[in-house]
Amino acid sequence: MTDTLKEIQKKEVELEKGVERTRETRVYTPAVDIVEKDDDIVVFADMPGVDEHSVDVTLEKDLLTIYGRIEPEVPENHKLVVSEYGVGDYQRTFTLSDEIDKDHIHATVRDGVLRLVLPKAEKAKTKKIPVTGTA
């Protein structure tokens, strides 16, 4: 039971040696679903609490990074006594291959789910070869 619970809980991002954060908060690795279609790859990242104003998607060379900022909400005149749900930012980085058209990536977010569409480059798309009969 304990092992199953650990798998369900959010996983914190581990910092590389010598790396420090400028913001004092936990950072979690968002769970993603990746779906491949004929012309693109779609990534769905679960980032509860994130909206279009609090998420950044950056591409530097071949590294696509998503970062979502979360501000903990505690109602006015209340004090948090017990917290079973980890609140923190989200970060995840993907290495993209040359099969992705990096100039046409687009992102949308709705209800805490970030949707990234990674179009395939022309050279990576499946091409149908016409077959003709011989005379």
Report if residue 100 sits inside a domain: yes
Report if residue 18 sits inside a domain: no
- pLDDT confidence bin for 46, thresholds 50/70/90: very high
Is residue 85 over pLDDT 80? Answer: no
Report if residue 106 sits inside a domain: yes
Q: Residue range 60-88: average pLDDT?
A: 86
Report if residue 67 sits inside a domain: yes
Q: What's the number of domains the chain is made of? A: 1
Buried b / exposed e along 94-128 (16+ C-beta atoms within 10 A): bebeeebbeeebebebeebebebebbbeeeeeeee
Both structure tokens of 38: 């004929």
Report if residue 59 sits inside a domain: yes
Other Cβ atoms within 10 Å of 19 Cβ, number: 7
Lowest mean pLDDT among 41-45, 68-72, 93-97: 68-72
Residue 83: predicted pLDDT: 76
Report if residue 107 sits inside a domain: yes
Residue 21: predicted pLDDT: 59
Q: What is the CATH number of the domain that holds 60?
A: 2.60.40.790
| Model pTM score | 0.75
Is residue 2 over pLDDT 80? Answer: no
Is residue 30 over pLDDT 60? Answer: yes
Is residue 45 over pLDDT 90? Answer: yes
Report if residue 16 sits inside a domain: no
Domain span including residue 34: 28-73+83-124
Report if residue 45 sits inside a domain: yes
